[in-house]
């Protein structure tokens, strides 16, 4: 089974000082689900890792992508149409979070691994009443 992750989860996993680090690491170790990341989060993750933790952290993240430790999910034209709808209804969430929602809807995923309780609690997906947010 695949677990859709957002930027915060990948960042928290890399940054041992992040308040979410232990929860994220423990959850991922216990579930053993393969992380899947929408392609739209990659630049955001890379930027945060590079600016906050340094170039080595960004390189390690790139290596994990290249080795298939995190699967990358494309964002389709239909996903972008849905993103535009979501941004019209929830303008504060931004394109990256809208793309996470759109990909989750397309893949029929109910569970999102996220540190962003505000945006993903607010959004009402098409395929379920509410996302199950972990950890």
All domains of the chain in start order, with CATH: 2-134 (3.40.50.1010)
Partners of 113 in the beta sheet?
5, 134
Tell me if residue 19 falls in helix, strand or coil: coil
Tens of pLDDT, residue by residue over 75-126, are 999 999 999 999 999 999 999 999 999 999 999 999 999 999 999 999 999 9
Res 14: pLDDT: 97
Model confidence at 9: pLDDT above 90: yes
The answer to whether the CB of 121 falls within 8 A of the CB of 133 is yes
Model confidence at 66: pLDDT above 80: yes
Res 32: pLDDT: 87
Tens of pLDDT, residue by residue over 25-57, are 999 999 989 999 999 999 999 999 999 999 999
Q: Is the peptide bond before 135 cis (omega within 30 degrees of 0)?
A: yes
Model confidence at 12: pLDDT above 90: yes
Res 59: pLDDT: 98
Model confidence at 1: pLDDT above 80: no
Instruction: Using CB atoms within 10 Å of the CB of residue 33, give its burial: 0 to 12 exposed, 13 to 18 middle, 19+ buried.
Output: middle
């Amino acid at each position: 089974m695949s677990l859709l992750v957002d930027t915060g989860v990948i960042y928290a996993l890399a940054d041992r000082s992040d308040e979410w680090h232990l929860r994220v690491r423990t959850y991922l170790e216990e579930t053993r689900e393969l992380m899947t990341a929408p392609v739209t989060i990659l630049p955001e993750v890379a930027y945060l890792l590079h600016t906050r933790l340094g170039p080595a952290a960004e390189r390690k993240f790139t290596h994990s992508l290249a080795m298939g430790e995190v699967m990358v999910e494309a964002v389709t034209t239909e996903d972008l149409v849905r993103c535009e709808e979501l941004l019209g209804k929830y303008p504060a969430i931004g394109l990256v979070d809208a793309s996470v929602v759109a990909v989750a809807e397309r893949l029929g995923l109910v569970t999102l691994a996220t540190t962003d309780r505000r945006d993903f609690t607010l959004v009402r997906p098409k395929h379920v009443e509410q996302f199950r947010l972990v950890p």
